[in-house]
Each structure stands twice: as C-alpha cells, then as structure tokens.
Structure 1
C-alpha cells in the first residue's frame, strides 16, 4: 500500500506525460540522478531507465513527441524525441546518419549506437558517429563497392594512412581508430556483420603528442581588458570570472545563482559543479571577483524571479546579436566566444606578430593554470584549484615556464574571533582546508596587520577609518596574540594619562578598546594553550 502511494506521489510531481518510453508502463521507481541533477527512474515492467523531466521538456518546450520506436527508424535522431538527456549546455541534439553512404554501415551504426546510448553520454555517442562517418567517407572514396567480409588488414592500414593525410591531431586520429575498432569488434561479437576478428590492432594507433597549454599571450589579455567596456555587462563579467577562476565554459554557463560562499575570516569562495569530473569543488576568489558575481546576481534579480531562473548567467535573445537582451535560459557555450571574437575583430586584438587573435573559452583555463605555476603555486594546489583528477593533468602547465617554487607557509590554524571575543563560525564552508587556505593567504590575501576584515564586498569602503578594533567586521586569530597584548598595554597607559588629565572622550573611546582587547586576548589565550 505504501509503495503504491509513493508511485502516485512521484507521478503527480513529474508530469502527466510520464510513462516508460519503451513499454509505456506507469509503474516505476527512482534510480538516482544523472550528472546534470535530473532524476532518473526505472520501469518495473521492462527495467528501462528514463528521465521524465527530459520527456516533459521535449513535449512542452520543443513541441517534440517522445517516441523512441519511431525515432530509431529515422536517419536523423533527436535525443529529445528519444527521451535521452542531451547533456549540459548542448547546442546540438541530433545524430545524423545521412552522410553514411553504405547501407550496411548505416544500419549497423544505428544498432551499435542505440546500444551505446544506454551506457554513455549523448555527447560521446555523437563523437562515435563522427568517427564512423569518417570511416564511411574513406571507404566510399577508395572502396565504393566493398562488402563487410572484404574488409581486411590492408584496408585498415590504408585507413590509418588516410587519417594521417587529413592533417588531424594525433589525439583525433587515435579516437577515430579506437572508435573503428570498437565498432568492428561489436559487429563481430554480436554477429551484426560478417567481418573478420581483430581488424584493428595496437600497432595501428598513433603516438599521441603531448599538447602544451593554449594560454592567451599577455599582450592579448591586456588588449582584451582595455576593450571589455565595449561588450555587454554579462559578457564582461563572464570574462572576468574566467580570467581568475579558469573554469570550463560548461561550468561557467551553469553556475548556480547562489555560488558564492564566505568563510569565517570574511574571504570569498566560489562553489561549482564540474561536469567532466562529476564532482563539486570550492575555490577561493578575490574580493574583486566576488563583487563582479554580486553585480551579476543583482542583474539576474532585476530581470527574473528565482522561480523563473536560478542560474548566475542567462542567455541572450538571439545569440548572434551584439547587444544583450536577457532570456531565462542557460547560455549556449558558443555565445561567449562569438562575442569575444567579434570584439577582437572590431578592436583589432592581435598578437605581437600582427595576426588577429581567435578566442576559445578553454584558453582562459590554460592561462590560469600557467600563471599559477609560474607564480610558484605548488602543483598539488593548482591541481586542487582546477579540479584535475590526477597530477598528470596539471603537470602539462609546468612545461611552459620553470617553476619558481616557494616554501610552504604555515597552515591556517586556530579560532577566529571578532572584537567581542566571540568565535566566528564558517558560513556553510569548511574553512580549515589547508590547500585552499594556503592559496587564499598567499595569492588573494587582504589582511590587516593584526587580523583580517570581513566587511562584505558589496559595501562601499570601510566607514571606520583606522578603528578596526571597534569594528564588527574585524576578525583575528591567535597568531596575532602578541600584538594584541602589546596594544592592550599601550591602551592602559593612554587611559591612565587621560584619567589624570580629565579627558572624558579619550577615556570613553579607549575604555571600549580595552574591553574589546581583553575579550579577544582571553579567548585567544585559551586557543593557544589548547594548541
């Protein structure tokens, strides 16, 4: 009885269109979430997994009827009609089999990719189809009448030579040969085609060249920053965030509206989801970038309600238009580089050789990694900051410049207290992460001589001049205990002199300062003794 009630509740939550795309059953249960956070369900009748939200989107927003059986019979598949999640920031939803000239390759590719759609992402399936189309083109140009059983090692060897003649990167050729191997292996294993076994062998694969980071030259970055006022404000803010944070474009356009966090010391952090690595990471950011993000939050609040749109950056009505008319949709990944390359053309942004620079969003990520390595940031911290899965992914940046390694600075320890001696707790953030604190203190540090300021970035300057010890935004730790004791001794001397001379105002101000210092010292002394 309880299970039936849960099924009814789930059905009411998702939509009236929900049913299994395979057997049309309305009996299903939850089966986790995909990388974009969409709920996945599994049919109790046929065990088919599906995302009803994707079906809803296709039906309501695109006017597409979700009918996988009908779609699979076509030569161009739309993932929305298949009920398949197209992935984050997708601009293409199609699988086009029309360029494949050979019917035996076309029909087998459909069967093969239909199986692949159940286990890998739609983007990966698109890449596999692209490789199969290259294979088809080669065969139609060189062996137009070839049959499956006639494919042999000689033809495969000529195919590898053909790929090399196309001036493709070694990694692209490797991918094409790998996809051809998987295609033929599956065709042999499942007896879809009468092909030979082991058509593609290890010696067919090219050696992948080590790629150096495609960082943006400093002269290009300077020209870009001088011209940023000439682009729409949301585009300008996206560039400023990219220049410091180095995230991927899919991560930038899908930034949550509430991506800003502040720690107990008053410093700012950015939290976002890495779709490639399938994990959430938190990185420290400067107060200037925090202000940029806050400005963009006000921009979104001005144009949309939170229920209407819950992302930091929105789409432009008509992505190619030079002005920016906000639309409550996630921005396409190609929109930002389109704006930047039009700017480069208008403002003649060139490298020193005089050639016009062509912007790609991933260049900003490589630029951030290269700068950090060159500035002496330890490689394991760069790895953490960029969210790399392994040190090998980070080590590529070390090939550009010699590392100027610095000694590790003492890790952040101890309690943080305000002027009342109260321990300040973090704001939904683990602020004792040693690597992030190292980066925060040495790259983005904005400290006072005896503590730090937690004045919100949105504020326009400090209203307290040099009276930090009477300011509610002041933060300090036990590492400044000696300075506080020395200042307390000086304050007591000032109070004695003020009392002797009858200076009422000076007594009042310094008595407040003395109380705050005594509160701070009493708490920090306990902290220091515990350590």
Structure 2
C-alpha cells in the first residue's frame, strides 16, 4: 500500500508543468513531486533535485517566469540578477542587489552605473561587496556631511571617511574591502564623468596594513579527541568529518559533492572529483582507499534510505540537527547544521583547548589543518597548491610559517636544553618573536659552529683568546645532540691524564683535569631532569 502511495506521489509531470515549474531557490527545472501541503488551500510541494530544497509553484517566485528585461530592472532600486539574464553560480541562493541604503540622489545613478559595469566583468559577490562600500559611504555622508553635493567630494572628505572606518569595529580585511570598492567607484566616476570628482581621491597609502595571514588549524589534541568520540556522531556526519580531515575541502564543496565524484584509473588508484565554487573550477585529487570506502558506504546509504533520486553524497536530517537520530531527506545539509553536530559533541565530551576553553569547530579549520599537516610532512608547496586547488602560490604560502614553528619545536624536543661548561642551562626556549632574519643573524654573526657544539662569542670579535680550549671557555655551548661525543671525549681525556701523570707532565695534567671536570659537568647537566 505504501509503495502504491509513493508511486502515486511521484507520478510523471505533464509537459505544461515542466515548462512552468522551477525551483525558486536555484532556478533548476529538475524536480519531483512530494506531497500536498496542509490547510484549506492545499498546494503541491516539490523537491528540487539540484539543491534538495522543498518549494511550491509560485509564479512570482518561479525562476521560469523571470522575464529578462535589463533596462526595466536597472530602473529599480532592488535588482534581481535573474531578470538581467545573468546566470547564477552553483550553490548561489542570493540574487538581489539592494540600492535602497543610498540616500543621496546624486549618488544613486553613478552607483547603479558602477555596479552595472561590475556585473559585466566580475561576479555577483564582487558587485555585492562594492555596493556595500558605496552604501556605507552614503551613510557616512548623511551623518557627517548632510548638505554635501557631488562637487564637494574631495580628499578631506575621503580622509574623514577613512577615520570613520578606522574607528568602527570592522576587521582590517573588511576595511580594505570597503576602501577598494570606493576607490574603484571614484576612478570609474572620474573616467566616465558620472561625478564632478578629481583623480586619486583614494590612494595606496589609505589602506591599513593587513596582518600576515595565519592558518586557523585545529590542534592535534583536539583532533585526537574528535576521533576518539567520532562514533557518537551520526554515521553520515562521521563520514563528512573523515572526508574533511583527509581532503581539506571547503564545507560548501563537501555539501555539494556529487554521487559520481569517485574516479579510478587503470592502475587501480582512486581520485576525488569535485567543484570549487570559490575558484569556479572542477579539480581532481588522489585519495586513500579508506576514504573511498567511506564515500562508497555513504552513497549506498543514500540509495538504500531515499525513495527518490538524489544526486548528492550527503543529505540533511529530516528533523534538522536538533532532532535525535538521523533520517536522511532529499535536501542538502547546511553549514550551520554540520557545525551544530560537532559543537554538540564537543560539549558532550568537554573538548577544550589548551587553556580549558570549550572548543568551537569551524568547518574551514579542517582545510587549514590538512594544509598545515602537509607542509609539516615536507610536501612541496606546489603540490599542496595543486591538491587544495589554490590559484596562486601566495595562497599556499600561508601554511609555510607553520613549518618553521614546527621545526623549532622539534629541535627543542631533540636538543632538550643548552648547557655551558658548568652544566648550567643557558638557553631553553627559542622566543617565538624571532624572525628568520634574526635567526640568520644569530647563526651567522653571533655564533660559531664547533664539532661538539657552538661558541657564543661573536665572530666579529677580535678572535678567541683561548688556545684550543673550548671546554674551558665560558662562551662554549652544547646540547644533547653531542652527549655521546662528550662521553667519548671524557674517556680520551682520562687516558691523557693517566699518561701525563705517568710521565710527570704536570702542565698537561692540570689543563686536562679542568677539561675533565667541565666535561663531567656538561654530561651531568645534559642528563639531568632539571
């Protein structure tokens, strides 16, 4: 009986329905019927095969009835890019450009001209970002220069706006985006004579210095706790975590992973193919057989638990992330739902950082974790660039400094401590603030390498005052790396002392006894647990 109802619910659509009905979320005309809505006025509910969302047929929202009429749309204060004939990007759910926040009439027309130009050359997101810059500048003018006209826009007004941005709570990157949008707008307005402004209103020195990008990777002890309690997550969410930990995908790329994502070559090796929304390209990366099994298991899970076609690997829970249990539905999981699952796990098992603060998982941190692990394992940057799908080496270089920090930590673990001839620890922790240039200065100018350690006497000094007597010099430094060397040298020194005493060479006895005492101090200092 249930099977008959299911077949009746998903009966084929007529040609007229196929022409009129489209998903108003993504504009796709690939869908299936599901059920009737409740209430007096019952409407047919459809499920989009592309984005997995539910929708009803509404001529006002349906993408099919959007008549492409750019000239009429440009006259409005809220543009729908679908009416402009601009194709939507994969995974895009926003289509509106709102000019309502621009309060100066003389600013509205140039702003529309500028955004119209941006849409013809760049993406919808770029146009949205630049429109935000113009709207924020308009709000600033309303508060600080309510009576100003286009002829009054000069360098002093721009400087005041820069000060306004600096006093706001915006991040440096957001401030730079606002300044970039305004700079492009003024340049276009000058070139096309949209406004009576002069050139170079916004200059290079107006941009705040961007802090060096730091990868936001997940510490290994957090990863260990996550893996330890992974079985407490629902099986589909477990598989999502495992894929992120190996492949370093963006969360949007994982959520839109297609069921035909797995490829195999003639040698039997497996590859993962997916689309990068940010770079607008499809990439293929090698993956392990463990992840292949994880994805194959998830695909079987989808086929066995869904009664209707679904072209994606991962689905949402029918009751949402807050509902106990997991029943897959033909709908894409949202980023917030995925985060909610992980945060709930962190709260349940008290997963905290090194300071004891509860850990909040961010999906993009998995991508940074993969990049950090690869750079620490010595994978060449150009390989990491290709694997993560970076457009330029600059994007991959963000992970490079982690290698330096990791190397310092590993060296510290290996050396353990640095001692002088008295066995006293003189250097234990390398300051994190030291740059590569400072490290080079320290190695090249301030210290001399020796077969059994190093000399802290600067090279630029007037030479060593000791004659072949580093083991009696206060500038001598050594580490655990040379412990075996020092033990052998101690044995040789004891033999020299025995021979010198037997021959009555008192000077050699006195000199080598000092060396012996210092070697014993060095060995004792390196082997101690203090």
TM normalised by structure 1 equals 0.60
3-state SS of 1:271 partner: strand
1:254 aligned partner:
256
* Structure 2: tracts of 5 or more residues without a match: 1-14, 22-26, 30-49, 408-530
Q: Report what 2:114 is aligned to.
A: 112
Q: Per-residue deviation at 1:398?
A: 1.5
1:126 matches 2:128: yes
Displacement of 1:92: 3.2
Change (3 A) 1:340 1:149: farther
Counterparts of 2:28 and 2:276 in 1: how far apart (Å)?
12
Q: Distance in 2 between matches of 1:363 and 1:258?
A: 26
> Given that residues 66 and 82 in structure 1 are in contact (C-alpha distance below 8 angstroms), is that contact kept between their aligned partners in structure 2?
no
User: 2:124 and 2:173 mapped to 1: Cα distance?
Assistant: 20
User: Given the alignment, which residue of 61, 71, 78 partners 2:80?
Assistant: 78
Report the Cα offset of residue 342 of structure 1: 4.2
Distance 1:176 1:232, change over 3 A: same
- TM-superposed deviation, 1:268: 2.4
2:111–2:134: 8 Å Cα contact kept in structure 1?
A: yes
Q: How does 1:231-242 map to 2 (within 5 A)?
A: 231-242=233-244
Q: What secondary structure is seen at the aligned counterpart in 2 of 1:180?
A: helix
Describe how 1:499-514 pairs up with structure 2 within 5 A. Answer: none
Deviations 1:327-368 (A, max 9, x none): 434444444234333443454432111222232221111100
Higher relative contact order structure (alpha carbons within 8 Å, sequence separation ≥ 6): 1
Task: Tell me which moved more, 374-383 or 308-317.
Answer: 308-317
Is structure 2 residue 274 aligned with structure 1 residue 272? yes
In the alignment, what sits opposite 1:151? 153
CA distance in 2, matches of 1:353, 1:118: 50
Which deviates further from its counterpart, 371-380 or 66-75? 66-75
Number of residue pairs aligned between Structure 1 and Structure 2: 360
Is the 8 Å Cα contact of residues 89 and 253 (structure 1) preserved in structure 2?
Answer: no
For 2:205 and 2:258, the matched residues in 1 are separated by: 46
The aligned residue for residue 311 of structure 2 is 310
Matched residue SS, 1:164: helix
> How far apart, CA to CA, are the structure 1 residues paired with 2:192 and 2:348?
56
- Does 1:165 pair with 2:167? yes
> Residues of 2 paired with 1:229 and 1:253: CA distance?
21
Tell me the distance in 2 between the aligned counterparts of 1:89 and 1:398. 31
Structure 1: unaligned runs, 5 residues or longer = 1-11, 19-35, 39-52, 405-531
For 1:214 and 1:147, locate their aligned partners in 2 and report how far apart those are by CA, in whole Å.
45
Deviation at 1:199, TM superposition (A): 1.4
- In 2, distance between residues paired with 1:316 and 1:98? 38
How far 1:62 moved relative to its partner? 4.2
Superposed CA deviations along residues 454-478 of structure 1, whole A, max 9, x for unmatched, are xxxxxxxxxxxxxxxxxxxxxxxxx
Aligned to 1:63: 62
1:394 aligns with 2:396: yes
Is contact 2:306–2:328 with CA below 8 Å preserved after alignment?
no
Residue 213 of structure 1, CA deviation: 0.4
Is 1:244 aligned to 2:243, yes or no? Answer: no
Corresponding residue for residue 494 of structure 2 = none
Does the residue aligned with 1:241 lie in a helix, a strand or coil? helix
SS of equivalent residue, structure 2 residue 312: coil
Larger radius of gyration: 2
* Counterpart position of 2:207: 205
Q: 1:17: Cα distance to partner?
A: 6.9
